[in-house]
A and B are shown apart, each in its own frame.
Chain A
């Protein structure tokens, strides 16, 4: 803490003056960026609609109650589809992510080039949102659950493989060396040295990803990739607000339940 000597004796400050100026300058830049961004956004906004929003909110919320409980009969199948998209998608992604992760971790990769390729797969699948994957896959395999499952599966490869390969790189190398000292082959080293160390993490990552995917799979229907999003989109487009609130309730329950299950399972494993 710098001390400044003045006529009235020393004064303590929290930071040096130069550092304080630097911090102020940083804030100035942040404020300028914010102001500029706000200016750009507000230019493209029709403010009449924004001021009108509270009224819209009241209006729509009033139309949303009571939820159409009887609509639940129609929803069971989409819920099942949504869960399947999330679960099967997670399984597909884990099945692909595990070999990719071993190829991407620098201590298990067979070759540098393979590692670069695996990292490329991770980055490419991770950067594109599952909704965009769904858009593309609907075009390729046709609308429906399959497109959604594949979209979730592909998007999750990167998400899972990144966490997996980081956990592989963090393993205790001495255990692997101990296995190697017994004359183990590379495959045996992998099975007895590496795998036992990372399996709990793998299971945790899978369950965590499943939870994320349940949330993600509820919206895929907006682009026609199956699941409850199809009903959500349809109900919104036909202004059936009581059905919309019913669907939102179902999504709420599904999200909370999946989060609870995944927290329980991860707690049990790790």
Chain B
């Protein structure tokens, strides 16, 4: 009686990330073709880029050392304006988002309110803050008020959406038990829903403050107040050492804000 011949493979290969071969090869070939086509249609004058490289190096060198001294007052002014704009836009945006967020929660509002509030949320989320800022400048004139409006609208899109999602994911039993005591709608929201979503919302508002400061540093490029205007001016005046110092200040504030907001969020939750 002969033993059945079993042969084990002495060779193992990692299974591919995408199992279906046609999809895998299709993606690879498609990507390669796309990159070739895209680079081919890009209007890039490579000769000009090559020639510009040494000049670029010289230019980069002119960023150093950063120069705070020449326009310290202007930089401090602009940064403070950006910070205050971010703060007031965060607060204003959150005040606006609370009703919108409550309305956009499916388990809280009638259908037509829900649809209307969802529309507000998606409308304010679609366009980048800079485009909103361009229009805010057209409507409200130059200055930080336009930036405040633009950032507030951006905040509504962000905050109301997350608030609504958080309310939709809340613990229903607590809401029911408060409801069963005969509370009216406002008491219900105040005692059943608000305590459930509050810690996360405080964390999110700090996170949004962080985002709003980053944005407030650039809305000035389109005239909506803050440090961005000075940044643009320093570049168009070829004062790159001042540009470098402004960028450094922005980076330092963004990092410290991120650190502070991360710390506070941990402390709250």
Residues of A in contact with B (beta carbons under 8 Å apart) = 30, 33-34, 36-38, 40-42, 44-46, 49-50, 53, 56-57, 60, 80-81, 84, 87-88, 91, 123-124, 126-129, 131-132, 135-136, 139-142, 144-146, 149, 191-192, 196, 199, 203, 215-216, 218-219, 222-223, 226, 232, 236, 248, 251-252, 255-256
- Of the candidates A80, A144, A226, A256, the one whose C-beta lies within 8 Å of that of B126 is A256
**B199 at interface by CB-CB < 8 Å:** no
List of 6 A-B pairs having minimum Cβ-Cβ separation, nearest first: A49-B141, A37-B88, A127-B254, A45-B145, A140-B56, A37-B84
Minimum CB–CB distance for A257 against chain B, Å: 12
Chain A residues with CB under 8 A of B218: 129, 131-132
Chain A residues with CB under 8 A of B43: 81, 144-145, 226
Q: Which of A42, A87, A136, A248 has the most CB of B within 10 A?
A: A136
Residues of B in contact with A (beta carbons under 8 Å apart) = 14, 17, 34-35, 38-39, 41-45, 48-49, 52, 56, 59-60, 80-81, 84-85, 87-88, 91, 126-128, 130-131, 134-135, 138-141, 143-145, 148, 214-215, 217-218, 221-222, 225, 231-232, 235, 243, 247, 250-251, 254-255
Chain A residues with CB under 8 A of B143: 44-46
Give the distance in Å from the alpha carbon of A57 to the alpha carbon of B149 in the complex: 14
* A219/B131 in contact, CB under 8 A: yes
Chain B residues with CB under 8 A of A131: 130, 218, 221
Chain A residues with CB under 8 A of B17: 196, 199, 203
* A45/B144 in contact, CB under 8 A: yes
Known A41-B84, A144-B44: A50·B145 in contact at CB below 8 Å: yes
- Of the candidates B87, B135, B235, the one whose C-beta lies within 8 Å of that of A34 is B87
Query: For residue B147, which residue of chain A has the nearest CB?
Result: A41
* B128/A216 in contact, CB under 8 A: yes
Chain B residues with CB under 8 A of A226: 43
Known A33-B87, A139-B235, A145-B42: A223·B140 in contact at CB below 8 Å: no
* B235/A135 in contact, CB under 8 A: yes
Known A88-B38, A131-B218, A136-B235: A218·B251 in contact at CB below 8 Å: no
Known A34-B91, A50-B141, A146-B42: A128·B251 in contact at CB below 8 Å: yes
Query: For residue B247, which residue of chain A has the nearest CB?
Result: A128
* A40/B250 in contact, CB under 8 A: no
Query: For residue A219, which residue of chain B has the nearest CB?
Result: B130
Minimum CB–CB distance for A183 against chain B, Å: 15
Minimum CB–CB distance for A62 against chain B, Å: 14
Give the distance in Å from the alpha carbon of A139 to the alpha carbon of B236 in the complex: 9
Give the distance in Å from the alpha carbon of A53 to the alpha carbon of B232 in the complex: 26
* A–B complex contacts, Cβ < 8 Å, 25 sampled: A37-B91, A41-B144, A42-B145, A44-B144, A45-B140, A50-B145, A88-B39, A88-B42, A123-B251, A127-B255, A132-B250, A136-B235, A136-B243, A140-B60, A141-B52, A142-B49, A146-B42, A149-B42, A196-B17, A226-B43, A232-B131, A236-B138, A251-B131, A252-B127, A255-B127
